[in-house]
Amino acid sequence: MATSSVRQPHERAFRTGRFVAMVAFAAFFLFPIVFMFVSSFKPNEDVLRDTTSFRAFLPVGDISLNNYGDVFEDVPAGLFIFNSLLITCTTVALGLVVNSMAGFALSRLRWRGRNLILTIIIATLIVPFETVAIPLLLVVSKLPWIGVADGALTIEQGWLNSYQVQILPFAANAFSIFLFAQFFKTLPMELDEAARVDGASGLQIYWRIIMPLSGPAIASVAILTFLPIWNAYLWPLMVVQSEGVRPVMVGLQYFFKVAGGGGGGGGVRWGEIMAYLSLVTLPVLILYLALQRAFVESIASSGVKE
Amino acid sequence: MAGPAILLLITFLAVPFVLAFVLSFTNQRLLSPNPTEFVGTQNFARLLTVQLLTLEPEIDPATGEPGRDAVGNLVYPRVRDYTRRNPDHPELDGLQEYMDIRIGESKVVVLVGDAVFLRSLINTLVFTLVIVPVQGGLALLLALLVNSRMRGVNVFRTVYFVPVVMSMVVVSLLWRFIYSPQGGLLNGIIGTITFGAVKPVDWLGDTALALPAVMLMSMWQAVGFQMVIWLAGLQLIPPNLYEAAAIDGAGRVAQFKHVTWPGLRNTAIFIFITITIAAFGLFTQIDVMTRGGPLDATSTVIFQAVEHGFRKQDLAYGSAISVVFFILVLLVALVQRRLTREKA
């Protein structure tokens, strides 16, 4: 800026002040996370003892991976992680397909009632999941599913304690549809017209032409679906009681009860708890650091809806 | 091609949404041997009834003066004599005591249908009233700090945003240790800085401190989200406006007041509304950290919806709470529409 050369001393003080503030905030946001990772390598007693000194944030003392081993011994943490991976990946994949198809139909195909449907879908954005969670519990407890019993297909009633109850309710998402529709509108219509002249069907145009051009929208929707499903707590808490399909976050709450000092003497096993916390945070953190730009852009895109 | 998505949205959004309203007028339970019946507005009456009962001190028959107990306090008739099948006060039947106020010698008792729900509603509103300006303001401050071309500024943006990608369950358990009265990190830090002058505090076990402690933790986790949105808003402001203001001799404060803030109007509306709606839905932190305690000091609307609708399997009452929650959200959304329309 032109004025910066005129008011140099003032400018320098301002910049120093700003830098100090930025570092202070960075410390505020990082200290719990550093503490979490560092403590996950320490014996339970050391975690408590170190809180009174700077050692709390340093990997010093009796460092080992024992806590991680203990986590897998105490609870089937590997199974919980597998369950969450399966649920999250399936929801993201399914969500990308159904929402992009809907977005395509609502932005690039012409049919009666299209604008009405789009308006209704956008209107549903105002309904938070918490509003429908309780009645949805009743709905999924009544829905039928095809099961296998004695080598024959049977119809079972009720989705409680299953994978599908954690996946299907979140596959279609009004905001994802909206994001796809908005993005598809920015692609030139001539693409579709040229393809139609060559005899392509709507489905072919969608799959062969539009989707390959929609990387940014796909990334945004994938991230915006991935995060809440991996971190899901309220819904799986209500619909999953059996260990076999339990996801990581509910497993974490369960593990906290195991390591929370209930019986057996000794206090809360904080070292092990920090190991579990680190274990479920690391995948998301790595993904975030690798795809930072896409993460931040997907969040920013949620702010531009009007 | 929109078929699959529409079908899914109908099954998992539209049907339960309509069902929330229908169930709230019944006595539906998740598993019940009895058939479901319509009970009218009974659930809402239980949620929203507020009655005042004025009690006069009991007169001591021996002296003709108001009676006093051993410690000298005035003696009042028992509230439960009014609320337990009192034929003279059918409107008070089954109500619970929420609080009382002394006016002169008489005592005014506030009676409500569900004291825990009212407490939860008030907690939720207090949480929202604090978190909206503080978190929104802090996020703006962070956005202003990192909105520069300084080298390495991206590192700071990355760091501020990290808690947003962490699960609220993870964050809640982590902060449970930070707040722990037995060797917790916060007490450790405070004790070290003050050389032990400040005694350890049970942050989550104190009725006055528990909700503020949850507020601080919630802001730590979520503020990076709003920072990113403020930042997107800041970058939409044309740089030549700042140049023009600088030529006119505007300092940093004047530039913020006359260029930045007016340019952020719609971003601000969006941010304050989304924080409000998220704050109304406060649940995970509470469920993991305090279970609504101590003494319901951190119980919230959605926590109550889950307590009744899921843990006590009373779907009807849980649905009624969900409906009240939705109406709150709807009111906020209507305010947003109004504010956004006025811009012209």
Partner-chain contact A299 B174, CB within 8 Å? no
CA B341 vs CA B77, B274, B332, B344: distances in Å: 55, 17, 14, 7
Q: Is B54 left (phi over 0), alpha (psi -120 to 50) or beta?
A: beta
The pLDDT score that the predictor gives to residue A263 is 42
How many angstroms away from the CA of B111 is the closest CA of chain A? 27
Partner-chain contact A127 B326, CB within 8 Å? yes
The pLDDT score that the predictor gives to residue B343 is 53
Report yes or no: B146 at the A interface, CB cutoff 8 Å: yes
In whole angstroms, give the CA distance from residue B150 to residue A18: 11
B338 pLDDT above the threshold of 50: yes
Q: Which range scores top for mean pLDDT: A162-171, B53-62, B259-268?
A: A162-171
B101 pLDDT above the threshold of 90: no
Partner-chain contact B28 A22, CB within 8 Å? no
* CATH of span B116-341: 1.10.3720.10
The pLDDT score that the predictor gives to residue A7 is 57
ipTM for the whole complex: 0.86
Which amino acid is it at B224? G
Q: What is the mean pLDDT of residues B251-271?
A: 88
Q: How confident is the model at residue A56 (pLDDT cuts 50, 70, 90)?
A: confident
What pTM value is reported for the model? 0.89
The pLDDT score that the predictor gives to residue B209 is 93
Q: Which of A48, A169, A233 sits opposite B169 (nearest CB)?
A: A233
Given a contact cutoff of 8 angstroms between Cβ atoms, the answer to whether B316 and B43 are in contact is yes
The two structure tokens encoding residue B151 = 């080298």
Q: Locate tokens 């008489």: which residue?
A: B106
Q: How confident is the model at residue A266 (pLDDT cuts 50, 70, 90)?
A: low
Given a contact cutoff of 8 angstroms between Cβ atoms, the answer to whether A153 and A146 are in contact is yes
Q: How confident is the model at residue B116 (pLDDT cuts 50, 70, 90)?
A: very high
Chain B residues 19-48 with a CB less than 8 Å from chain A: 19-20, 23, 28, 30
- Which run of H or E residues covers position B103? strand B96-103
Q: Could you read off the pLDDT of A210-244 as tens digits, one per residue?
A: 999 999 899 999 998 999 999 999 999 999 988 88
Helix/strand/coil for A214: coil
Given a contact cutoff of 8 angstroms between Cβ atoms, the answer to whether B235 and A297 are in contact is no
Indicate the fold that domain A76-249 takes in CATH.
MetI-like fold (1.10.3720)
The pLDDT score that the predictor gives to residue A1 is 44
How many angstroms away from the CA of A290 is the closest CA of chain B? 11
- Which run of H or E residues covers position A149? strand A144-149
A184 pLDDT above the threshold of 90: yes
The pLDDT score that the predictor gives to residue B143 is 94
What percent of chain A lies above the pLDDT cut of 90? 44
| CA atoms in the 13 A half-sphere facing the CB of A174 | 19
What percent of chain B lies above the pLDDT cut of 90? 45
The pLDDT score that the predictor gives to residue A41 is 92
In whole angstroms, give the CA distance from residue B50 to residue B126: 19
Q: DSSP class of residue B100?
A: E
Using alpha carbons, select from A129, A120, A306, A180 the residue that is nearest to residue B270.
A306
Report yes or no: B17 at the A interface, CB cutoff 8 Å: yes
B297 pLDDT above the threshold of 90: yes
Q: Which residues contact A57 (CB under 8 A, 6 or more apart)?
A: A31, A34, A35, A38
The pLDDT score that the predictor gives to residue A4 is 46
Q: How confident is the model at residue A3 (pLDDT cuts 50, 70, 90)?
A: very low
The pLDDT score that the predictor gives to residue B88 is 83
Q: Could you read off the pLDDT of A108-131 as tens digits, one per residue?
A: 888 888 999 999 998 898 899 999
Identify all chain A residues contacting B145, using CB atoms and an 8 Å cutoff. 18, 21-22, 25
Which amino acid is it at A238? M
Given a contact cutoff of 8 angstroms between Cβ atoms, the answer to whether A10 and A1 are in contact is no
Each as own residue / partner, the long-range contacts of residues A128-131 (CB below 8 Å, 24 or more positions apart, any chain) are A128/B277, A128/B280, A128/B281, A128/B325, A128/B326, A128/B329, A129/A234, A129/A235, A130/A234, A130/B281, A130/B283, A130/B302, A130/B305, A130/B322, A130/B325, A131/B17, A131/B20, A131/B322, A131/B323, A131/B325, A131/B326, A131/B329
Average pLDDT, chain B: 88
Q: What is the mean pLDDT of residues A52-68?
A: 82
Q: Could you read off the pLDDT of B207-243 as tens digits, one per residue?
A: 999 999 999 999 999 999 999 999 989 988 888 888 8
B8 pLDDT above the threshold of 90: yes
The two structure tokens encoding residue A84 = 């969450």
Identify whether B294 is preceded by a cis peptide bond (ω within 30 of 0): yes
In whole angstroms, give the CA distance from residue B62 to residue B246: 85
Identify all chain A residues contacting B277, using CB atoms and an 8 Å cutoff. 128
In whole angstroms, give the CA distance from residue B224 to residue B158: 9
Structural domain boundaries in chain B: 54-112, 116-341
How many angstroms away from the CA of A151 is the closest CA of chain B? 30
Average pLDDT, chain A: 86
Q: How confident is the model at residue A27 (pLDDT cuts 50, 70, 90)?
A: very high
A84 pLDDT above the threshold of 70: yes
